[in-house]
Structure 1
Amino acid sequence: MILADKVMTLRKKNGWSQEELAEKLNISRQSVSKWESGASLPDIDKIIALSSLFGVSTDYLLKEELETEQPSETEDVYEAAKERAVSLEEANGFMGLVKKLAGRIAFGAGLCVLSPIPMIVFSGLAEYGADAGVRGAAAISEDMAGGLGMVILLILVAIGVAILILGDMHTEKYRYLEKEKLALQYGVEGIVRKRKEDFAGRYRFCIVAGVTLCIIGVVPLMVAAAFSAGDLAYIYCTAVLLSMVAVAVFLFVWAGSIQGSFDKLLQEGDYTVEEKALHKKTSFFPAVYWCLVTALFLGVGLYTDNWRYTAFIWPVAALLFVAILYIVKEVAKARLEKGD
């Protein structure tokens, strides 16, 4: 049996198409097609890669007289059925793209948090502005405040969501980094780890600053309550709280996106092989959770018309998110262990 027949037989035995085999070897589908038709032969590097990929010896691939598959003699290249090779060019392309998009995605997430502020402020001015002596407040009716505030809210949310969707579409071709077991080619791990170490200081700063902003964002409300401030003061304090949370979200998302690009390549943090299996089971949760929280915030706020207390939904939801996500992951892990 010639090499072309052996490659085709082994490929089909593993249930791969020519395109899938090409992806695992970082070559074009046409190259695989030429190998299997006998139009060309793979070079020595690809012979070694095929040996490791199919779990057979290089002798079996190269010697026509050997008809029986022999175990691979290479142990350090990669196990193709489980691992996907990542080149330096591929890794640099991914890290560069994430760094470019991180600011935009963080801005989109921040806009979604900021979106209720105009409605809260306009409603406060319409209801309490005239009594507080705010110039021009009497001209704002409650219907005008509610309608205009809702229009601005929807516009900001639409812009924020559009930015998030576009960012996700740009990184679609690298989605396999979150799902497959990876094998970084020679020298890639060292470069990625060096970049991660260089970014570590900024990552820690963003996380600490974001948490601090979330905590002190509640302080204006507490001060207003301590001094029995007027209703309009509570409205402004709520707007300040949401603004600080929005900045915190920006820091979390920006730093988390860049840090995540390193962790995905190194298969560390939330992207270990075990976590990738869990992610497939739990990836639905964050989007569903925060959509429900947003709906709850708007629903309670509009129903009670008491935004000063409704704003506390956000910090409470953030704390509950961590606890509920942990439970969801534990349940998913138990199901994976059972083989469900």
Structure 2
Amino acid sequence: MKLSEKIIILRRRRGWSQEELAAQMGVSRQAVSKWESGQSMPDLDKILMLSKLFDVTTDTLLKNDRKLAPVIFDFEEESGQEGNAWNGIDPANADQAFENKSGESSAMKMPEIPRGKTVDLMMAKKYLETKEYTAPRMAMAVAFCIFSAIPLLFLLGFSQTGLFGMNEAKAVGIGLCFLLAIVAAGIYKMVRVEAVEKPYAWLEKEEFRLDGQAYAFTERVRDEWAGKQSKEMSIGIVLCILSPVPLLVTVFTTQNPFFVLTGVCILLIVVAIGVNFIIKASLLKNATNVLLQEEEYTPASKKTNKVLEPFAGIYWIVVTAIYFLWSFHRESWEVSWIVWAIAGMLFAAISIGLNAYYKAKGK
């Protein structure tokens, strides 16, 4: 079976016209018409898009020995012979050929395939622009929360020197004020980011269809961002690994509490900077994964999350109740922690099992 015939069959299975497929692929209707008539071949990028759009392998599309069951329509030709709807049909005019006598498209007699929401090029651009704006702000908000303990620790160390009349009580009071102020600033940033991203929150939870132009644009953006993301992720990981060095140096060279706590402060500063890089890179990578519905945002994963969301809250409340009942009743605090390990593994197993089920069901 030729590629041109397969494109027609797969398009008809979706109930799409040539114009609709063209819109999905980001090409003209004439281009689709030429593909279906065999006058031209889609290039490699378009074949990959067709494979993803129709949810088939490239081998299925390209190998002539791979056949697809033709779509049979319930109408009689002028001769009164009933048969395969593709017989004698010019693929270039397939849409017009399948109009029945009442003027209704015979494709309407096919089982309806739910299409869900469609994300077009404009929405994809706005979403990625929004994530590009919010990613560094969310990363900074998390860094603020890590930074928040630094003034308290530094002042506690400084209080050991006795300079400027600083004592431990004053250090704790001033340090806690700084801690709360910095945490409040971080939470404020997080809330603002969530408000900006709210119109697009459904993309992470619901299934949708990405049209051709949006798909090509997202792939291009992912390629453009990949180098920078890899660099930022590497820097962040290296900083987190090296962060204990200042503390280790102070611990092994001096027993002065001020210098030791200063080493802890430097550790937190380096960790905060590293985490900032990691979160920013991860959020931008996730943004393209959300649109392309890859990794943790596949349709199977979304279905799994929908099932687990209402169950998870009840599950962990029950686990907590079991933990406290066992711990208080038996006075087994040194053993009861195992409840969390077992509960965590069980929850992970349920999640993996559901995900595998929905993946298999979707094939």
TM-score range, shorter chain: 0.5 to 0.7
Of 119, 123, 128, 2:156 maps to 123
Structure 2 CA distance for partners of 1:141 and 1:202, relative to 1, 3 Å: same
The structure with the largest alpha-carbon Rg is: 2
1:230 corresponds in structure 2 to 256
> 1:186 corresponds to which letter in structure 2?
G
How far apart are the structure 1 equivalents of 2:156 and 2:257? 11
- What residue in structure 2 maps to residue 294 of structure 1? none
CA contact (8 A) 2:300 2:355 kept: no
Percent identity, aligned pairs only, is 23
Residue equivalent to 1:70: 109
* Counterpart pick for 1:161 among 175, 184, 187: 187
User: Hey, what does 1:298 align to over in structure 2?
Assistant: none
- Give 1:80's aligned residue: 114
2:219 pairs, out of 190, 193, 209, with 193
Given the alignment, which residue of 183, 196, 200 partners 1:170?
196
Amino acid at match of 1:246: A
Partner of 1:21: none
Out of 266, 271, 279, the position equivalent to 1:253 is 279
Q: 1:29-60 CA deviation, whole Å, 9 max, x = no partner? A: xxxxxxxxxxxxxx9968x99xxxxxxx9979
Q: What 5-or-longer segments of structure 2 have no aligned partner?
A: 1-16, 24-72, 74-94, 317-342, 359-363
> In structure 2, what is the equivalent of residue 312 of structure 1?
none
Range with bigger deviation, 161-170 or 62-71: 62-71
One-letter identity of the residue aligned with 2:133: K
Instruction: Please state how far the C-alpha of 1:174 moved relative to its aligned partner.
Output: 0.8
Q: After the TM superposition, which residues 202-221 of structure 1 pair with which residues of structure 2 at under 5 Å, given as runs?
A: 202-221=228-247
Q: Match for residue 361 of structure 2?
A: none
- Structure 2 Cα separation of the partners of residues 277 and 175 of structure 1: 16
Q: Are residues 1:330 and 2:349 paired?
A: yes
5+ residue gaps, structure 1: 1-42, 50-56, 74-78, 290-323
Would the aligned equivalents of 2:117 and 2:209 in 1 still touch at CA under 8 Å?
yes
One-letter amino acid matched to 2:129: G
Contact 1:60–1:69 (CA under 8 A) maintained in structure 2? no
Length, aligned pairs only:
242
- 2:134 counterpart of 1:101: yes
Shift of 1:148: 1.2
d(CA) in 2 for partners of 1:100 and 1:65?
47
In 1, Cα distance between equivalents of 2:297 and 2:226: 17
Aligned-partner SS, 1:129: coil
Residue type of the alignment partner of 2:126: G
Q: Which amino acid aligns with 1:174?
A: Y
Structure 1 pair 92–260 and aligned structure 2 pair: CA distance change class (3 A): same
Partners in 2 of 1:107 and 1:149 — Cα distance?
A: 21
CA–CA distance in 1 between the matches of 2:278 and 2:107?
A: 55
Deviations 1:230-250 (A, max 9, x none): 221110010011111111121
Q: Retained in 2: the 8 A contact 1:60–1:70? A: no
Q: 1:212 to 1:283 in 2, by over 3 A?
A: farther
Is 1:272 matched up with 2:298? yes
**Partner residue in 1 for 2:81:** none
Aligned to 1:6: none
Tell me if structure 1 keeps the 8 A contact 2:243–2:271.
yes
Work out the CA distance in 2 between the residues paired with 1:204 and 1:106. Answer: 16
Q: 1:80 aligns to what SS in structure 2?
A: coil
Alignment RMSD = 3.8
| In 2: Cα distance, 1:251 partner to 1:165 partner | 20
Counterparts in 2 of 1:80 and 1:193: CA distance versus 1, 3 Å: same
**1:260, CA displacement in angstroms?**
1.3
